[in-house]
């Protein structure tokens, strides 16, 4: 798969990386929280609570799709909102002129 990207798609400029100058901390928080929810989902499924396990799984899938297609990161929004109410450890603010969670332009 790497060869397809680096050897074909990238040189033809069909696909390019989309890099945005933004704080990495909210994205790490979002990835960590998503991982936690998926681990919790796996435990629910393993111990026989299929409804809760699948609900959490589909929630993560929905939020990942929201990020991919609309550019809204729910975990980043939560991070920035926790920063606004001054929760310790959440010390980065959203870029100026950007609604918390949306991709900077």
Closest listed residue to residue 62, CA positions, set 72, 48, 47? 72
Does the predicted model carry a pTM greater than 0.75? yes
Output phi, psi for 28, to 5 deg: -65, -40
Residue-by-residue pLDDT tens, the chain, 105 positions:
788 888 888 888 887 777 777 889 999 999 999 999 999 999 999 999 999 999 999 999 999 999 989 999 999 999 999 999 999 999 999 988 889 999 887
Alpha-carbon distance of 16 to 53, in angstroms, equals 35
């Amino acid at each position: 798969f790497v060869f397809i990207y680096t050897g074909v798609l990238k040189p033809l400029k069909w696909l390019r990386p989309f890099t945005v100058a933004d704080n990495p901390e909210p994205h790490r928080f979002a990835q960590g929280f998503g991982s936690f929810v998926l681990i919790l989902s796996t435990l629910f499924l393993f111990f026989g609570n299929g409804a809760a396990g699948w609900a959490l799984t589909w929630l993560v899938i929905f939020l990942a799709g929201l990020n991919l297609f609309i550019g809204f990161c729910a975990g980043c929004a939560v991070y920035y909102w926790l920063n606004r109410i001054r929760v310790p450890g959440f010390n980065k603010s959203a870029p100026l002129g950007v609604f918390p969670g949306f991709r900077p332009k």
